[in-house]
Each structure stands twice: as C-alpha cells, then as structure tokens.
Chain A
Amino acid sequence: MTVEYNPDQKIPHPAMWGVLYKSSTPFWEGVKNKKIMLQKCKSCGNLLNPPRPMCPKCQSQENEWITAKGTGKIYSWVTFNEAPHPAFKAPYAAVLVELDEGPRIVSNMVDVKPEDLEIGMAVEVTFEDVAEDLTLPKFRKAG
C-alpha cells in the first residue's frame, strides 16, 4: 500500500518552498534529481543528520554533500489510524529508515501495508511525484 492523498488538500511541503529549515535545501534539491544527499563534515568525515552549521564532534564548519546509496532498514514506524493533517488518508504509516551509511530519515513505504512492516526490514529508495511541485523519497522492500 502506498500513502493516499486527498487531492483537494495541499501536502505539507518542505522548507525550500517556504521559510523554514534552510539548511536542508541541498537535501531537497537532491530529491528533485532522485538522490538522497547527506551532509558530511569535511574535517572528520562525520555525517551530520539533520544538516546543521557545525560538526558536533570536531566543531568544523566546513562540510560537503554526498550521495547515499539509498538502501537501509526499517528502524521504527507509526501507523496513523486518524490523519493528523487533511492531506493524508488514514490509515497510513510513517517509517523511520536507518540508511546503510548510518543516518535515520523519516519516510513512507510504497507497496507495503502497515500491518506487514517489521523492524529490520531491508528497504531501498524510490522517488514518488506526489504533487506537481513535490517529489518525495520513499522506500520499498528491497530485493
């Protein structure tokens, strides 16, 4: 099962369309190009997730963006039986994916019902155009 949306409601858009978390702009630019980008400290190689102005390990402010493989495992998930926002049709699940590189990101599954989710399930990224101006990185069962 894939998340279903109410077509007359606007799906919440990330920061680059608004005024919010500007540090994530490279991530969302990457999504447009069908890539998951991660911020990496140039000094010590620490992956900074979520992106931020300074490496918490070495305090370097020099960083670069790398492309993640797009594979990982389900770390946790929540099934919404009541939609907290009118754009989403309940039930649907939000998943926390632990990428093979280490960072965890929130997403949705494609073609997996909430009741079939399992912690540790191997997943791989896929990109879904959910609105004319919005692509989201989602995951499907690997293999």
Chain B
Amino acid sequence: MAIDSIKDKAAIVGIGVVDFSTDIGRTEWYTACQAIKLAAEEAGVNIDDIDGMVKSVDDGPDPTYTGKGLGIDNLLYHSENHWGTSAMMNAVHAVAGGLCNYCVYYQTAHRASGPEKCISDFLVAREFRDDSLDMVRYDYFSPFGLIGEPGYVAMMYRRYMHETGIKPEQLGWVPIVASENAARNTNAIFFDKSITIDDYMQSKLIADPIRELDCAPKVDGSIAIVITTPERAKALKQEPVIINSVASGYALEGQNYTSYTRDVITDLPEMENMAKELYRVGGMGPKDIKVAMLDDTFAPYVPMQLEALGFCGKGEAPAFIEGGDKIRVGGQLPVNPDGGEIGQGRFITTRIVEAVRQIRGTSTNQVANTDTVLVASGAGGPADGMICRKE
C-alpha cells in the first residue's frame, strides 16, 4: 500500500495533437516540438514556463533533446518511464511533489513510416548488453518462428478461448465498436469506415486465432499533454481535468505479451493490482467510472481488462461485449469512444486525450455527463493507469 498524497494534486490543463497519418513527412523531433507547442498554447502556458518533461522510453526524442528544440532554458525535472502511459505517473509525482511546476508528457512515434524499432524485430534486442527476461523471446521463441506481437498474443488468446469459451463472434464486437466510434473521429484512420461482423469474420487470421482486425494498425503521430497543480490551473485557459489517482501494476513472471510461465496465463494480474491501488487512492470503485479508456492494442485484452478492472465479474466479459450495446456510447460502460487504438492507430496517449475531451465535453463522440474516466494501459505486461475527473 502506497501513500495517497497524490490524490487530486495534479491536473491536465492542455493537450496538443498533431494529425495522424501513415507518412507524416517530418522528423520525430519536429513533431514532438509541434505537439508540445500546440499543448502549451491550448493551456495558456508559455514555453519558457515548462520546467518538466516526461515520456515513455519507446517513443520520440528524449527530453533534453526535445527541450533544446523548443528553446527551453532549464528543466527542473525530466525522466522516461517504461511502456504504456506510465510516464503519466512521473508527471503527477513531479507536479504533486513540487519538483517542477508545468510538466509536459509527450509521445511522438512514426511507426507507419519510420524504422520500426520496438515491434517484432531485432533492433531493440541488439541494443541490450546483458540478460533481461524480455530478451527470452529472441532466444527461446524466435528460433521456432514465434516472432512478433500478434503471434505472442495469439498464443495467450488460444488458451483464453479454451478456458473461457469466447467465440470470434463475440470478440469481434471490440473492433466493430472501435470502428463505429472511430468513424466519427476525423483524426482516425477508420474515419467514416465502420466494419460489420461479416467484415470481422472475413478478416485474415494472420496469427490464428488473431485476425488482422484484432490488431491496432501502425500510424505516425505526436501528442503532448500539460500537467500542473489544480491551484496553478485556475490562472490558465482551460477547465482543468483533475487527476484523482494514478498507479502502476506489477506481478510476478510478467513479460510484455508473453507471460507464458505463470500458472494461469489468461488473466491480467498487473491490471488487477493497478485497479486496486487506483480505486483505493481515488476513493472510487468501478461503478463510479462513466467512461473506460482501455488498452486495445490487441482486441482480446479488452474483455480481459473489463474483468481485471472490476467492470464485470470473472467469466462475464465475453457476454458483456457481445453485440456491443454495453460498450457503446449510451451503454452501461462506454469503452474508447474515440475509436481506441484499433480505430485510430497504435498510439497510446490517445487514451489520455480522449479522457480529457470526455470530461471537458468536447469529444467527437461525447458520452453525456461524463465526470469520471478511467485510463488503463499495459495490458499483457506491466500495467499503469489513472482515474481523472471533472473539477
């Protein structure tokens, strides 16, 4: 049990989004600076006032480099966390703890057009100098052709099908609802292109049982988010989105998408641990959440998260998603009204942007009276998340 001093001590006051594309035609350095400038302008914060910068290790140029690009004179705080949206924790801790005043969390990734450094190839492995359990996949998996994230997830999902009895006709509603939601989102690659269950059933089983439509497509993009204290937020341009709680989740034998050595490989103990902490710090429970922004990098993780985060009971998720009504806007628990990563492209900080828009009431697919949103990332590995709320 951790201290809960971060509760309500930080707020999101600005977002900057560079339009997604499959070939953005700029350097990541350029689009990182562009998104941060947009976010600062939206917030009403001068670039000179930014004194904290955080990001994930995966995506974009590091803070000192990006700060140089922006012309920032001094950074009181900068750090990089691992995957997911875990850098949000760094930002909240830094602002709530007084380490800096205005912290920017940015993600810049050109996965569609740029060299693919993080997904299913060997470049990352070559950068490691020593043993790491994540490297096991290159050693124990690759010689047998188990290569790439769709395949890693498929190995888990086959077992999940076996244990839960979930059918493709049920899982298909995750990408279908994602595409319906994305069809309203002008920044989404599925804009105006929603799919049906027939489209889903015909989607190629690239790594059987994972279909092409179960995977978030790669995009180029850049997003920045400005975080400060609720007190400082009062002098700024936007209605602040209060960060009620932020937490990470860890569990033994966890390995991104490949936690095959656990007794049970078909649940998300990291998400369960994270949810316990989020709800405890925030003083909330699953019933208090109006919109869920879930990790849909791969579709099977959506029903698994619904159970791990307490939105439905164990074993109930396949029926919960079937037909889509419960997870659509207007349903019991709208999931990813922006289309998620399946609908928009693989870009993790879109979840935070949509959480902010839902609370401000400015989403392209607005859920009425949204005052609380849960954001979850890192399904199938180290997890992190936050609950944010209306002031």
Contact = CB atoms under 8 A, between A and B. Distances in A.
Interface in A39-98: 49-50, 52-53, 56, 75-85, 87-88, 92, 94, 96
Interface of B: 120, 122, 125-126, 128-133, 135-136, 138-148, 150-151, 154-156, 158-159, 162, 204-210, 252-253, 260-261, 265
Contact of A50 (B140, B158, B206): B140
Contact of B147 (A12, A14, A75, A79): A12
A19 B131 CA distance: 9
Q: Nearest 3 A-B pairs (CB), nearest first?
A: A12-B142, A78-B154, A94-B146
Nearest to B206: A82
Contact of B158 (A24, A77, A80): A77
Contacts of A15: 135, 138-139
Given A84-B151, A106-B140, A20 B135 contact: yes
Contacts of A85: 142, 145, 147
Given A24-B140, A75-B159, A92-B145, 18 more contacts: A3-B144, A14-B143, A15-B135, A21-B139, A50-B136, A78-B158, A80-B151, A82-B206, A84-B120, A84-B147, A85-B147, A94-B145, A96-B159, A96-B260, A104-B260, A106-B140, A106-B141, A114-B208
Interface residues of A, number: 44
A80 B156 contact: no
Which of B133, B136, B253 has the largest count of A CB atoms less than 10 A from its CB? B136
B138 A78 contact: no
Contacts of A24: 136, 139-140
A72 B93 CA distance: 48
A121 interface: no
A11 B261 CA distance: 25
Contacts of A76: 155-156, 158-159, 162, 265
Contacts of B148: 84
A11 B140 CA distance: 13
A53 B253 CA distance: 14
A112 interface: no
A14 B140 contact: yes
A16 to B, nearest CB: 9
A29 B386 CA distance: 46
Contacts of A52: 133
A106 B159 contact: no
B51 to A, nearest CB: 39
Nearest to B205: A81
25 contacts: A12-B142, A13-B143, A14-B139, A15-B135, A23-B131, A76-B155, A76-B156, A78-B146, A78-B207, A79-B205, A80-B145, A80-B207, A80-B208, A81-B206, A81-B208, A84-B150, A84-B151, A88-B145, A92-B145, A104-B261, A105-B140, A106-B141, A106-B144, A107-B144, A134-B143
A27 B136 CA distance: 12
- The residue in A11, A76, A104, A108 that gathers the most chain B C-beta atoms within 10 A of its C-beta is A76
A22 B131 contact: yes
Nearest to B150: A84
Contacts of B136: 21, 24, 50
A63 to B, nearest CB: 14
A37 interface: no
